[in-house]
Amino acid sequence: MGRRAGGRGGSKLQTGCGSAQGSGPPRAARGTVLLFPGRTEYVEKYGRAARDLARRGLATLTLDWRGQGLADRLTDDPMSGHVARFTDYQHDVAALLGIARTLALPRPWHLLGHSMGGCIGLRAAMAGLDVAACVFSGPMWGIHIDDGLRPLAWSLAWSGRRLGMDHRYAPGTDAGSYVLSEPFETNKLTGDREMWDYLIAHLRAHPELALGGPSLRWLYEALTETRALVRHPSPALPCLTVMGSHEEIVDTARIIGRMENWPGSRLEIVDGARHEVLMEDAATRARLFDMIAAFCHEAAATARRGDGGSGGGAPVSA
């Protein structure tokens, strides 16, 4: 089931809902996963994940963030991954929650945030997002940048904003889609050829879903937001984070540091996996979705017993 929703600022968002009965509001699920996708992603990419969760008793509601997928694009260049302010994504979260309430989706709700969605989701959870548990996949709590290049990245992103050139692409990126331009052998997303071909087939069939590199404004906003999150303790929610051992897109030190200071949390490092941990081979996906569903159902059971959640963790060192 898909629908268009209005986000603050007049942007239109695309959402999707799935259940064990197919598309549409579920009737027998024991909870709902609010799935926050990453940069460049789109609702349709998570059709398989929604089916995997449905088989395990969880409905799914997801969305296209402003500026990507079938949501309104934000610049004259539709391939530019752009956002005016990272806080704007929280307005998209509010719109998604409004749809969840309208559809009366089964409770409890759980957060599943991947990559950029993990950054947006952590901020939302810190602000009191109405979920029983949070799960993160390769969360963008920092961006993987070589130490020697980090000051340059900050300088270029800041200068672009000040000089009115923040709509331009970040260095090393362009209007091309990563999935359509990168050879499978060197891609940083998945080691599973069948899944890689599945993603290529999506974008070839529906090129309107594709997105290119991030703008300088997006880079500045992302660097600013991830630095700000470091200063805040983790929310008092049970948390499971999964991360590939071959992660090369997000800052793994930030993930490990936060999880070490998040009481009652669990970090699962998946041997051989890349950034898209939930889009690796079938056996890995089955194991991880079993783990995620069990974690969410246990969090729901704990909440019903009134055992309480984990206490908030200490701020993470940068």
Domain assignment of residue 139, yes or no: yes
Residue % of the chain over a pLDDT of 90: 77
User: Alpha carbon of 63 to those of 71, 137, 141: distances in Å?
Assistant: 9, 16, 20
CATH number, domain with residue 284: 3.40.50.1820
| 280 neighbors 246 (Cβ within 8 angstroms) | no
Is the model more confident about 148 or about 40? 40
What mean pLDDT comes out for the span 16-25? 57
| Inside any domain, residue 69 | yes
Q: Note down the domain range covering 237.
A: 2-305
98-122 residue pLDDT tens: 999 999 999 999 999 999 999 999 9
d(CA 267, CA 231): 20
Tell whether 314 is covered by a domain: no
- Domain assignment present for residue 138? The answer is yes
Q: Where is average pLDDT lowest: 27-36, 113-122, 145-154?
A: 145-154
Residue 127 tokens, joined: 């602000």
Confidence of residue 17 (pLDDT cuts 50, 70, 90): confident
Does 310 fall in a domain? no
In total, how many domains does the chain have? 1
Token digits of residue 185: 């052998």
Does the pLDDT value for residue 3 go beyond 50?
no
Residue 312 resides in a domain: no
Residue at 318 is within a domain: no
**pLDDT-based confidence at residue 315 (cuts at 50, 70, 90):** low
Whether residue 27 is predicted with pLDDT greater than 70 in this model: the reply is no
* Cis, bond preceding 25 (omega within 30 deg of 0): no
Range ranked top by mean pLDDT from 27-36, 105-114, 144-153 = 105-114
pLDDT value for 119: 98
6 lies in a domain? yes
Could you tell me the pTM of the whole model? 0.91
| pLDDT tens-digit series, residues 158-217 | 676 666 777 889 888 999 999 999 999 999 999 999 999 999 999 999 999 999 999 999
Tokens of 35: 């799935």
The tens digit of pLDDT for each residue in 274-283 reads: 999 999 999 9
Residue whose C-alpha is closest to residue 251's, from 280, 278, 222, 216: 222
Overall average pLDDT of the 290-298 stretch: 98
pLDDT score recorded for residue 316: 46
DSSP count for the chain of H helices, then E strands: 9, 9
At 33 the pLDDT is 98
Range 264-282 average pLDDT: 97
User: Max CA-CA distance within the chain?
Assistant: 56
